[in-house]
């Protein structure tokens, strides 16, 4: 798993459940968001990322997808890293 994902871990609540805080993302179109989410999840799990990192990458892949019309965003490593940064910042609030 990429070292860029380190430090972007979800937090556990008092019951031990893992929480994945999400920033408010303007939604233009949800087409393709589920596909991008599953692609991020499978990619992280296939690279031994573990379930928490897989959830984080999945959310990061889905985020840019909903921000524009149509289901084909530019899911470059930079776009995904930018979304991971936004997710990490929302975790610290």
**DSSP E strand boundaries for 1-93:** 11-12, 18-19
Its pTM stands at 0.63
Angle at alpha carbon of residue 12, lines to 9 and 13, rounded to 5°: 145
What pLDDT is recorded for position 72? 67
**Which residues make Cβ contacts (< 8 Å) with residue 83, sequence separation at least 6?**
59, 60, 61, 63, 64
Per-residue pLDDT of the chain (93 residues; tens, 9 = 90+): 344 444 445 567 788 777 776 667 788 999 988 988 898 889 889 988 888 888 888 888 888 788 878 866 666 788 778 877 877 766 555
CB 37 within 8 A of CB 62: yes
């Amino acid at each position: 798993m990429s070292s860029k994902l380190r430090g972007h871990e979800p937090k556990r609540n008092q019951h031990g459940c893992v929480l994945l805080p999400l920033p408010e993302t303007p939604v233009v179109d949800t087409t393709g968001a589920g596909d991008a989410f599953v692609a991020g999840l499978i990619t992280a799990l296939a690279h031994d990322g573990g379930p928490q990192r897989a959830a984080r990458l999945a959310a990061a892949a889905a985020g840019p997808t909903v921000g524009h019309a149509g289901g084909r965003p530019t899911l470059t490593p930079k776009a995904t890293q930018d979304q991971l940064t936004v997710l990490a910042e929302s975790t610290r609030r």
